[in-house]
Structure 1
Amino acid sequence: MFVSSVVCCWRVFAPRVSLVILIATTLLLSVTVSARADEDPAIGLASFALASGSPEQSLFYSRNLSGYPGTWLRAQALLALGQVNKARPLLQYLIEGEHQRGAAALALARIALDEGEEIEARERFQIAADAGYGEVREQALYELAELARRAGHRDMTGRILSGMEAGYWAALGYMNLAADYSKRDLNPARALVALRVALAMSEHDTVSERSRNLRSQLLVRAGYLSYQNEEYEKAIDFLDQVSLDSYHTPRALYFHGLALTARDNHRAAMQSWHRAKKYPLAYPGVQEAWLGMGRGYDLSGYLGQAGEAYLAANASYEGERVTLRNLASQIRQDGAWKSMVQDARDSEAQWFLSDSRTLTQPRMAYLFRFMEDPAAQDAVGNVSALARVEALLEEKANNLEVFRGSLKNRLETPTKPVSGRQESLFAGLETLRARIEDLRGKADRPDRLTTINRSAKSIQDIEASLRLLGERLATRDARLEQLLQKTNIVLSRIQVLRSRAASLRGRAESKLDDLALAFVSKHDDRMAHALDKTEQKIAHLYEYLALETLERGDQ
């Protein structure tokens, strides 16, 4: 009865984030520059800057590095900065060499795929699979399997997946293959087999958090398929294994309740739905769990409690619509970047729950749902990148302002005349030189002559330094003026860049606002539909109670 609204769990999983972020992060996890940091400190500095999310700093440190380590670092930094056209020739250079061929081919393949060049992408992925190793090879094979699956060649997809190492990417491939089977087969047997293989593969993933999340998703899908096939005990067994701190927990609890209801265990079903109700209504399965409580009481014969449960669901949906309207108003006023992204971590937000766990924070829940959309991921990534650029430019401008102030203070401070003191020092040096010459003529031992010669050399060096000091002091103001002019020019350029960055960010935020408002409107419609359903349930229940009362009266 309530299943259709959450069938979205069978959407094929395609991990799409912006091309720049995806390439920069996944390749960093899988490939490291083999040159040792002690061979050139710039390699270590550039690698650290790239890994810590500062590609512009990485580009600066790697600008003078030669050979493949510098080329690879610059290519990654350029990709992270979105400068694909500048990164492309560097990647092409690497793919034709002996080092990082697989990683470079994978990056070029993703670029081609993003540009719609599927044939070129397939060729590049094949090179990456042949030349790469570890995570790079597995990603390339996964992408080849996905290309085959999307083209309808499921047998080829299976062959590619069977040649992969057990781990995250193989599990992901089998999960998507299972989604295809579930859409085309009336019998879920093949889909369940693929999901079991995916579960076995996911256990070999070395990234524990990623593995837990994928395992929960696989268990929910397997449980849902088993429920659809009326294998309720099997469904319950799958769903019992879902972690209680997973993003997929609310949906798993809802399906768990459905399977228990099908076994006529309404009390246990309502316990599962009651636990699901503790999560924000943004999550799939929570809205249905509220409605399921009333249905559970109804099937158990407790009509009074059923009415109360429906009324509670009705009030919850009404409250959520108020929350969504407030969120839409804040987006229009402050923008989605602040209202949905930045404020999601603000513990002072009025509509945060007192519970500090991330999964139970309503605004964070809506952010998670919003970020399921690849277009939303791209929009948030663009605004985030531009915000980082603005912050960097502001920091540089502030530093230059301080430097410019220091230059002005130096120019306003007059230099004391040193010509008289300099002449006095030169005269003293001449006196010392004469005494040294006198001592040199009287020196009767080699060691004393050596000491006298050293003293003469020191006097000569001091004299040269005094002359240089005089020349520098004479040109001090001119050099400071030149530095001040250069500083002003750089500041002007930075201001132009800040203006351009602000303009681009404004356009990016406007696009993000449109996506966020459409998202909020969609969820408001979902709550409105849920309200209609609860009101119908309440009306039918009261109608039944009224008829039952009339029948008792007639008797």
Structure 2
Amino acid sequence: MTIRFTAVNYRIHPAVRRTLDTLLSPCRRRYFAAPMASVVLILGIALASPAFADSGSDVIGDEAEAKATARDRLLYREALFRHYTNDDLGTLTLLENRHMGSNHIANRFHNLNHILAIEAGSRYGMFQANTEIAEHLAFTVREKDVLQRAKLYEGRVAYEAGQYTDALKKLSESLDSLDRVGLDEAYYLMARCYIHQKRPADAGRALGKVTEGTFWAAYGYYNLAVYYGENDPDVNRALISFRVAAAMTPNTEEGLELKDRIYLSAGHLALLSDEYDKALGFLQNVRADGASAAAGIYDYGLAFAGLKRYRVAIQAWHRAKKFALVVPGVAEAFQAIAYGYEQEGLRATSIDAYLEAVSVYDKEMRHTAEIRKSLLADGMLAVLDKARRQHNEAAWFLATDLVTNTPTVAFVNFLMSDDEFYALAKTLLQLDGMRKFSRSALDRLDIYEQALAKKASDVKKARSDRKALLNTSNLNEVIARRNELAPDLKTGSISLVAELEYVDRILVQARQEFVSLRKQMAAAESGFSDLNDRIATLRDRYSAALERSDAVIAEYEGLLAKRGDELLQRHYDNIEDFYLRSQLSLVNLYDDLAIDELEKMQADKMRSEREAGAK
């Protein structure tokens, strides 16, 4: 049984970075010039870190400082919303295009936006870019907690690069002013470094400083238990660590799934050590409706079988028959049922069980072949979309024919359990998200261009109307008439002279306003032209990004189809092996029954002959 750690490493295609480079503003393009980097999926709970909490209670020194932070505060809130909704591309786009704060030293929200960009960029493997941002913050930030958060990121990158000594140094330097969640992550990563350095005692001490009842603590002790299980001859240390991990797990949906995996791993380890009672104690805590249920049921039955309680084991294995055959433990349970009946001496019932298993395996092989054909014909995105739609339908999980009609979503779950396939699928979905983003942007540009054209038409019409009102000849005629009357008015009364001066001021003002309006109308035409040029530029950029996305997606579709076909072929071979072994067991049972029948007939014949001789 494979016990998986909490981090998944994979390589991201360089075209992903080029596509992002096209989508994002060139204002910090140098940050995205890094070579291909590893993408690391650290625990999703980091999204909810209080490090991103709105610091609304912060005291702003004066009005000028408050105005300086207002834009970045609003930007931070919008970007934070996108980040919490897992829209990392939207987060990066927003921050790259509008991150305009001018004061890095006193502007807390500007620096928090940098931290947010680091977290979002990590999801796309932008480690070189993020490292440059962290180094930039080291020289400009006054807020110690923000600086420590940047150091925490540097420690995380060093850990993922396998530089455990350097990671421990950087993580230790980040501990001084981190918030509680930041400290938990730092101690968790330190424990992982110690485990890689084969220092479990130090790992335990680091985990002792993690907040109880958090995922950091639960995963930390889970990984420590795995280390003990693989390296310590005393299985009890691993089992104790598993118990601690289970006790640390939060009572959320994700936490309950993790707790199931913990109990399943502990029970399986106890089972391998022939400690059947301990195995039962762990396995009975695995939920019957969780993702680990089938594997737990199978191991639960094995524990009873180890105690020679085959009837109870058979009852347990029957409960696994409601799950799809791609789920670990289900295919094994069908054979185990027949084996249990055989051990109980119920050969006829065992034959029926083997016949049922053969039928189920045969249907699964045919269905697997159909899925392979669909994957190669339609592509992985179509299969993932179908699985997503099935997943949203609760009825698929409640269906009673899963074992004979495995749904696509169950096959996708099976494929996603493979690290390489999951990494490729993750990148493919990110690329597809970029492609959808580009298409949406092009649609928005079309709408904006239409609105702009209508506005330009309205302005042009209004300009024509104003031109008629602001006729140059009319104004010049008034001025000429005034000039003709001016000599006569100067010889008139004082009041008429004053009126002349008033008219002069009105005419000067009218002339100035006329010239100003002419300039404004010309500027309006120029403004519409500039906007149209910008639309054309953006359309070219998004079209180029869309074209590159299509090319890379096609490449990843090919890689995924190949890997998916390999996994499905492996599943097919595994089911075929169960199929052949079940048939062989049937043949052996039929042979045994035939031999027993022959021996019975021979015994009856001999008894009849003895009775006849006695007479």
Query: Shorter-chain TM-score category?
Result: 0.7 to 0.9
User: Could you tell me whether the CA contact under 8 Å between 1:269 and 1:296 is conserved in 2?
Assistant: yes
The answer to whether the 8 A contact 2:52-2:112 is kept is no
More displaced 10-residue stretch of structure 1: 484-493 or 541-550:
484-493
Which stretch shifts more, 398-407 or 313-322? 398-407
- Residue type of the alignment partner of 1:200: A
Number of the residue aligned with 2:76: 43
Gaps of 5+ in 1: 1-6, 435-440, 442-452
CA spacing shift, 1:100–1:33, aligned 2, 3 Å: farther
Superposition map of 1:44-83 within 5 A:
44-52=77-85, 53=87, 54-60=90-96, 63-65=99-101, 66-67=103-104, 68-83=111-126
Cα separation, partners in 2 of 1:213 and 1:261, compared to 1, 3 Å? same
Q: Distance in 2 between matches of 1:459 and 1:23?
A: 73
Written as runs of structure 1 = structure 2, the 5 A alignment for 1:238-249 is 238-249=282-293
Alignment of 1:127-526 (within 5 A): 127-166=173-212, 167-202=214-249, 205=250, 208-339=252-383, 341-347=384-390, 353=396, 355=398, 362-406=407-451, 415=461, 416=464, 418-423=466-471, 468-473=516-521, 479-526=527-574
Whole-angstrom CA distance in 1 between matches of 2:119 and 2:292: 33
**Post-superposition CA distance 1:211-269 (Å, at most 9, x none):** 21121112112222333343333322322211112111101101111122233433322
Structure 2 CA distance, aligned partners of 1:75 and 1:458?
61
How far 1:418 sits from its partner (Å)?
4.3
Cα deviation digits, residues 84-137 of structure 1 (max 9, x gap)? 322212222445641323432232223233334343323223334454342322
**Farther off after superposition, 279-288 or 49-58:** 49-58
Distance (whole Å) between structure 2 residues aligned to residue 425 and residue 80 of structure 1: 67
**Bigger radius of gyration among the two:** 2
CA contact (8 A) 1:46 1:57 kept: no
Q: 2:133 matched to 1:114? A: no
Determine the structure 2 residue equivalent to 1:546. 594
Query: What is the letter of the counterpart of residue 112 of structure 2?
Result: P
| Pair 1:417–1:55, CA change in 2 (3 A) | closer
> Does the aligned pair in 2 maintain the 1:45–1:61 contact within 8 Å?
no
C-alpha contact (below 8 Å) 1:217/1:248 kept by paired residues? yes
% same residue:
22
Amino acid at match of 2:129: K
SS in 2 for 1:106: helix
Q: Give the secondary-structure state (helix, strand or coil) at the position aligned to 2:117.
A: helix
Matched residue SS, 1:69: helix
Distance 1:135 1:369, change over 3 A: farther
C-alpha deviations, 1:294-347, integer Å up to 9, x for none? 1122122221121111111111112111122112111211222321x2211223
Check conservation: 1:62, 1:74, Cα contact below 8 A.
no
Q: Contact 2:92–2:117 (CA<8 Å) still a contact in 1?
A: no
Q: Does 1:29 align with 2:62?
A: no
Alignment check: 8 A CA contact 1:42 1:61 kept: no
Measure the CA separation in 2 of the matches of 1:322 and 1:183: 38
* Matched-pair contact (CA < 8 Å) for 2:263–2:285: yes
Aligned partners of 1:239 and 1:256 also within 8 Å: yes
1:14 is matched with 6
User: Which amino acid in structure 1 is aligned with residue 575 of structure 2?
Assistant: M
Deviations for 1:340-393, whole angstroms, at most 9, x for unmatched residues? Answer: x2211223999x947369x99643333233223332232122111111111111
Counterpart residue type for residue 7 of structure 2: P
Which stretch of the first structure deviates more once superposed, 259-268 or 534-543? Answer: 259-268
Partner of 1:4: none
Report the more deviating stretch, 69-78 or 321-330.
69-78
- Tell me if the contact between 1:109 and 1:120 (Cα under 8 Å) persists in the aligned partners: yes
Residues 159 and 193 in structure 2, CA contact (< 8 A), matched pair in contact too? no
Aligned partners of 2:41, 2:545: CA distance in 1, in Å? 26
- The one-letter amino acid of 1:63's match is H
Provide the rounded CA distance (Å) in 2 between the counterparts of 1:90 and 1:478: 38
> In structure 2, what residue type is equivalent to 1:289?
A
d(CA) in 2 for partners of 1:27, 1:171: 14
CA contact (8 A) 2:431 2:553 kept: yes
- Give the gaps of 5 or more residues in structure 2: 11-37, 58-68, 105-110, 483-494, 496-501, 604-615
Q: Report which stretch shifted further, 191-200 or 76-85.
A: 76-85
TM-score normalised by length of structure 2: 0.75
Amino acid at match of 1:43: Y
Query: How far apart in 2 are the matches of 1:92 and 1:349?
Result: 43
Counterpart residue identity of residue 107, structure 1: Y
Per the alignment, in what secondary structure is the counterpart of residue 534 of structure 1?
helix
* Aligned-partner Cα distance in 2 for 1:462–1:51: 57
Cα distance in structure 1, aligned partners of 2:557 and 2:506: 66
Shift of 1:538: 1.0
Superposition RMSD on alpha carbons, in Å? 3.7
Q: Is the 8 A contact 1:337 1:509 kept in 2?
A: yes
When residues 178 and 402 of structure 1 are mapped into structure 2, their CA distance, relative to the original with a 3 A threshold, is closer
Asked whether the equivalents of residues 40 and 160 of structure 2 are also in contact (C-alpha less than 8 Å), the reply is no
- Distance in 1, matches of 2:197 and 2:420, equals 23
Worse overlay, 165-174 or 316-325: 165-174
**TM-score, normalised on structure 1?**
0.82
Change (3 A) 1:61 1:500: closer
Check whether the contact 2:83–2:120 (CA below 8 A) recurs between aligned residues.
Answer: yes
Structure 1 position 74, deviation (Å): 3.1
Following TM superposition, by how much is the alpha carbon of 1:501 offset from its aligned partner in structure 2, in angstroms?
A: 2.1
Amino acid at match of 1:369: F
Cα distance in structure 1, aligned partners of 2:42 and 2:517: 54
**Paired residue type of 1:244:** A
Counterpart code for 1:50: H
For 1:518, the aligned partner's letter is: E
